Amino acid sequence: MIVTVTPSPAIDWTVATDTFDFDAVNRARSSTREASGKGVNVSWALHRAGVPTRTVFPGGGQTGRFMDEAFAEAGLPFVRVDTGREVRTNITLITPGHSTKINEPGVPLDGDQAAEFTSAVLEAARDASAVLICGSLPPSMGAGKLYELVDRLLGLGVYVAVDTSGEALSLALAAGPDLIKPNVHELAELVGREIRTFGDVVVAAREAIDRGAGSVLASLGADGAMYVDPRRALLATSRDIPFVNSVGAGDALLSGFMASSADPAERLHTAVLWASSAVAHDSTLFPLRPELAARITVADLVDRDTPLGEPSAPLVSTVSSASAANDV
């Protein structure tokens, strides 16, 4: 059982148009609302792939009940800590070649609600193989609370992954999470310097490992994704992936990585396949696209001086990952 934790869940409202002009009336081609938030998105992906999962989140009001109904209808196990406050709404506008996101701020939790939420996470973790803490913290929760939660979860003997940013991520490292999943911008913020090359990603990831992380799964946008541990630096790249919507691609990456129990190269291949499937779909509830597996390459990084945004043939050495397509 993989438990996901979403301190700041959301209703994802996705609107797609065939054209868009500012200061004009634009007509929607489609409009959907989905129970969402980073950890929720991970659980959706795992559940739809048949991987046992439970999602834990705070929320209340009509939007909290909307999330309950969505999970109950899908048969996705969940724990909602009732806050009495509506869940925020995040808006995604999809226009030809573009995906624009507008996120509302997270909903605050008072002291009792934060304590209840922590207790709910720890209780859900008792029968879990892994706990994934994903997304930003509510405004009322200090960054140190994430350190405390990671520390207590590790004390239960479960695998802990953290996908957040800023001070919360920096402080969480000291607790020793098994995995962190920053994007390249969050990794740069973590180490306090620009990341210009693939080698810079490795150096920054190893710095995070020196500070406590067991390993790093870094999403690099169009440049692919990288897995770094104390021994290896693996790069996954893809080609000819149709682009529709980038929202949720990082969550899909983490989902795919956690869904596989193979070696790191095959897990990274699966992760990028799930992320590729996500960007090829117009909402966070994406179907897996196994035919994209042949367009993904995973290999040990060779040329660390290549700038991000300019991948080239000598970048990697060949590592067989054909069997990774079977992990979806």
Q: Are strands 2-5 and 53-60 parallel, antiparallel or unpaired?
A: parallel
For residues 309 and 222, the answer to whether their CB atoms sit within 8 Å is yes
User: Which own/partner contact pairs does 31-36 have at CB distance under 8 Å and 24+ positions apart?
Assistant: 32/283, 33/66, 34/70, 34/283, 34/284, 34/285, 35/9, 35/11, 35/66, 35/67, 35/70, 35/71, 36/9, 36/10, 36/11, 36/12, 36/90, 36/248, 36/284
Say which residue the tokens 């911008």 belong to: 185
DSSP-derived secondary structure letter, 138: P
Element (H, E) at 121: helix 111-124
Residues labelled as active-site residues:
251
